Structure 1
Amino acid sequence: MIDRQPVETLIIDPNSEDVRLLLDALEDETNANTVSTAASGAEALEFVRQCDSDPDRSRPNLVVLDIDLPEMDWRTLLEKFDADPGWTGVPVVVFTAVDERKSIAQSYANHANAYVRKPDDRDRFVDVVRTLGKFWFDVAWVPPRDEPNDKR
Structure 2
Amino acid sequence: MRDGRAASGPSDILLVEDNPGDVRLTQEALDAGRFHNTLHVVTDGVDALDFLNRRGEYGDAPRPDVVLLDLNLPRMDGDEVLAAIRDDETLQSLPVVVLTSSQADEDVRRSYELQANAYLTKPVDPDEFVDVMRSFQEFWLSVVRLPGQGD
Q: CA RMSD in A?
A: 2.5
The percent identity for this pair of structures is 35
TM-score, with normalisation over the residues of structure 1? 0.83
| 1:65-144 paired onto structure 2 within 5 Å | 65-144=69-148
How many correspondences in the alignment? 145
Structure 1 residue 75, shift from structure 2 partner: 1.5
What amino acid does structure 2 have at the position aligned with 1:140? V
Residue 31 of structure 2 aligns to a residue in which SS?
A: coil
| Stretches (4+) displaced over 6 A | none
Q: Quick one: distance in 1 between partners of 2:72 and 2:50?
A: 18
Q: 1:44 aligns with which of 45, 48, 61?
A: 48
Structure 1 residue 58, shift from structure 2 partner: 2.1
Q: Quick one: distance in 2 between partners of 1:105 and 1:97?
A: 15
Residue 81 of structure 1 aligns to a residue in which SS?
A: helix
Tell me which moved more, 102-111 or 44-53. Answer: 44-53
Residue 26 of structure 1 aligns to a residue in which SS?
A: helix
TM-score, with normalisation over the residues of structure 2? 0.84
Mind listing any 5+ residue stretches in structure 1 that lack a counterpart? none
Per-residue Cα deviation, 1:85-119 (whole angstroms, up to 9, x for no partner): 22132111111110111100000000101111110
Q: Alpha carbons of 1:28 and 1:142: their partners in 2 closer, same or farther (altered >3 Å)?
A: farther
Kindly indicate whether residue 16 of structure 2 is the aligned counterpart of residue 15 of structure 1: no
Which residue does 1:35 correspond to in 2? 39
Which residue does 2:63 correspond to in 1? 59
Structure 1 residue 29, shift from structure 2 partner: 4.9
Q: Quick one: distance in 1 between partners of 2:141 and 2:77?
A: 28
Per-residue Cα deviation, 1:40-72 (whole angstroms, up to 9, x for no partner): 001111222337843xx4211200011011111
What amino acid does structure 2 have at the position aligned with 1:67? L
What amino acid does structure 1 have at the position aligned with 2:71? I
